[in-house]
Amino acid sequence: MAKAVQQSETLLMPKATSVWLIENTALTFKQIADFTNITEIEVEALANEEIGKGLVGRNPIEHSELTKEELERCEADPAASLKIAKRNLPSVKARSKGPRYTPVSKRGDKPDAIAYIIKNNAEISDAQICKLVGTTKPTIAAIRERSHPNTPNLKPRHPAELGLCTYQEFETAYNKGLKAAGKDPEAVKAELEAKQKAELDASQANNQAPESTGGFDFSNFMPDKSISSDDGQF
């Protein structure tokens, strides 16, 4: 079956939205994956709490990303694909020059986002991190060298989940970094998905493995039936 065409509209928090849809709807994993633009394997892992444990679900209906009628339509037809609701809000235009503007309420999240990229996506250059997060190279260097004043309290978190950039912007920067390192983004993505699937299969196999029936052996304390009670004399 052909892969669903990527929607022009994007969700602000795909994984949190996936969690809500898993917990509150009868949609299939494939329907949720197509709507949130994450892999079906990740949706299944979220459902089993193998990733994103403790992640709070985000209601797409309350945030005008999905209509109730559209949800009910797709719940009734597992082959149907959800469509993101069109919003009347004007799209945010990225500035071609200068650092990204970050709301005051989110500026404290920048070090966590930088720590996440350094830890999980070494292919992304410092210049790209500056554009994604809206930070400076000295700050990145301080976090990398663990000389940043808030180092003991850093909690690596995805910059898109923190609202510092979009998942599309992050993926673009990641792919650019892979190409710069001489790697094929599609091949790397396929390898990662295969690894996630193998880990998921191994986890399911371990959960289904029969428990050991080992325990204390009471056989030595049972009477010997080979000796008839009639043969014995007191």
For residue range 35-67, what is the model confidence (pLDDT) as tens digits? 999 998 989 888 888 887 778 889 999 989 999
Count: domains in the chain: 2
**C-alpha pair distances (Å), 98 with each of 13, 110, 125, 130, 135:** 26, 17, 17, 10, 11
19: in domain: yes
Chain segment 80-105, per-residue pLDDT in tens? 999 998 765 554 444 444 455 555 55
Q: Which domain holds residue 36?
A: 14-76
234: in domain: no
115 and 67 inside one domain: no
Q: Quick one: which of 161, 164, 159, 166 has its CA closest to 121?
A: 159
27 with 74: CB under 8 angstroms? Answer: yes
Cβ neighbours of 77 (radius 10 Å):
10
67 and 134 inside one domain: no
66 and 122 inside one domain: no
d(CA 66, CA 84): 5
66 and 109 inside one domain: no
Chain segment 187-202, per-residue pLDDT in tens? 888 888 888 888 888 8
When the pLDDT of each residue in the chain is averaged and rounded to a whole number, the result is 80
123: in domain: yes
108: in domain: yes
Q: Which residues lie closer than 8 Å to 108 by C-beta, 6 or more apart?
A: none
Is the model's pLDDT at 225 over the cut of 60? no
56: in domain: yes
Cβ neighbours of 18 (radius 10 Å):
28
2: in domain: no
213: in domain: no
Instruction: Write down the pLDDT at residue 77.
Output: 93
Is the model's pLDDT at 159 over the cut of 60? yes
pTM of the entire predicted model: 0.46
pLDDT band at 144 (very low <50, low <70, confident <90, very high): very high
71: in domain: yes
